């Protein structure tokens, strides 16, 4: 069930059950101001806090944020290190906040190659919030959609090898249940700010019938009003899923 969100003096909006955001444009935001790219990442990380709190407030039940892709390792050591340090700051804060929130945190992506201090915090936060019944926040770190599907294929192939299933038994539902977002609905709305019109390897399985919202503003400048605009537009879309309406 999607929540209905009523703002003063405006018509009610249909709030998507699952919103996914590609947090892009941090580097350009900094460059425009003559600042190092790392300053953009700092501002972007703060904006993640603002937007995720707001989404929780208006009743979004599932959120997925793209923070670092499997391709982002191509960047300079300094930039990668800054992003990982900002991620750690967030993890420390999130662990403390778990006491006062009912949100459930899930980290999607291959964490095995991340720093041990990060892995430890991620595992702890996931375990501590696993029985929470509030909104689910998926944070995509070292995430790649192709990598996710390849990993799911390996898991399923192991079951075939063990004689638990036959190749003919493989279904779409089985693949959905073998990826990071198992048991979650697919994203209803995927938002990408910063004037880029591509998925960049984000949720490529899950986005088969997602609605898209591309925005010109850069992620650090993306406000709750911009999110309202996206949701307003989503409210007026007609989703057919291949059928007729
Ligand atoms: C998104 O902002 C953050 C990550 C990819 C980690 P960018 O760093 O890609 O910013 P632009 O696209 O260069 O402006
Ligand atoms: C996608 O942005 C990844 C994240 C926002 C984390 P990129 O900046 O890496 O994507 P491209 O390179 O423009 O496609
Ligand atoms: Mg970018």
Q: What is the pLDDT of residues 60-112, one digit of tens each?
A: 999 999 999 999 999 999 999 999 999 999 999 999 998 899 999 999 999 99
**Strand 136-143 relative to strand 4-5: parallel, antiparallel, unpaired?**
unpaired
Catalytic member of 24, 186, 188, 215: 24
On whether the pTM is more than 0.85, the answer is: yes
231: closest CA among 61, 53, 15?
15
Q: What is the predicted pLDDT for the residue at 99?
A: 86
When pLDDT is averaged across residues 43-61 and rounded to a whole number, the result is 97
Q: What is the predicted pLDDT for the residue at 11?
A: 66
Catalytic annotation present for 72:
yes
Distance CA 106, CA 184 (A): 11
Catalytic annotation present for 24:
yes
- 84 C-alpha vs ligand 2 centroid, how far in Å? 16
Give 4's pLDDT tier (boundaries 50, 70, 90). Answer: confident
Give the per-residue SS3 of the chain: CCCEECCCCCCCEECCCEEEEECCCHHHHHHHCCCCHHHHHHHHHHHHHHHHHHHHHHCCCEEEEEEEECCHHHCCHHHHHHHHHHHHHHHHHHHHHHHHCCCEEEEECCHHHCCHHHHHHHHHHHHHHCCCCCCEEEEEEEECHHHHHHHHHHHHHHHHHCCCCCHHHCCHHHHHHHCCCCCCCCCCEEEECCCCCCCCCCCCCCCCCCEEEECCCCHHHCCHHHHHHHHHHHHCCCCCCCCCC
Catalytic member of 72, 85, 132, 201: 72
Distance CA 46, CA 31 (A): 18
Q: What is the predicted pLDDT for the residue at 8?
A: 60
Measuring from atom 9 of ligand 2, which residue has the nearest CA?
72
Percent over 70 (pLDDT), the chain = 96
Residue 23 near ligand 2, beta carbon < 6 Å: yes
- 129 C-alpha vs ligand 3 centroid, how far in Å? 30
Residue 193 near ligand 1, beta carbon < 6 Å: no
Residue 72 near ligand 2, beta carbon < 6 Å: yes
Look up tokens 């911009």; give the residue. Answer: 226
């Amino acid at each position: 069930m999607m929540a209905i969100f009523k703002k003063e003096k405006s018509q009610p909006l249909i709030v998507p059950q699952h919103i996914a955001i590609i947090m892009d444009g941090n580097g350009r935001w900094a460059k425009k101001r003559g600042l190092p790219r790392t300053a953009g990442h700092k501002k972007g990380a703060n904006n993640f806090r603002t937007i995720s709190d707001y989404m929780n407030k208006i009743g979004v039940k599932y959120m997925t944020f793209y923070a670092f892709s499997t391709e982002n390792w191509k960047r300079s050591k300094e930039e990668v290190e800054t992003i990982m340090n900002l991620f750690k700051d967030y993890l420390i804060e999130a662990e403390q906040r778990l006491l006062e929130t009912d949100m459930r945190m899930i980290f999607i992506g291959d964490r095995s190659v991340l720093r041990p201090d990060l892995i430890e915090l991620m595992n702890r936060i996931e375990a501590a919030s696993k029985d929470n019944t509030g909104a689910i926040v998926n944070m995509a770190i070292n995430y790649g959609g192709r990598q996710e599907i390849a990993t799911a294929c390996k898991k399923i192939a192991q079951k075939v090898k063990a004689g638990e299933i036959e190749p003919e038994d493989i279904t779409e539902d089985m693949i959905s249940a073998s990826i990071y977002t198992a048991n979650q609905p697919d994203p209803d709305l995927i938002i990408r700010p910063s004037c880029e019109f591509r998925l960049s390897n984000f949720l490529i399985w899950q986005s088969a019938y997602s609605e898209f919202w591309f925005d010109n503003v850069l992620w650090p400048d993306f406000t709750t009003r911009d999110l309202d605009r996206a949701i307003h537009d989503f409210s007026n879309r007609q989703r057919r899923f291949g059928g007729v309406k």
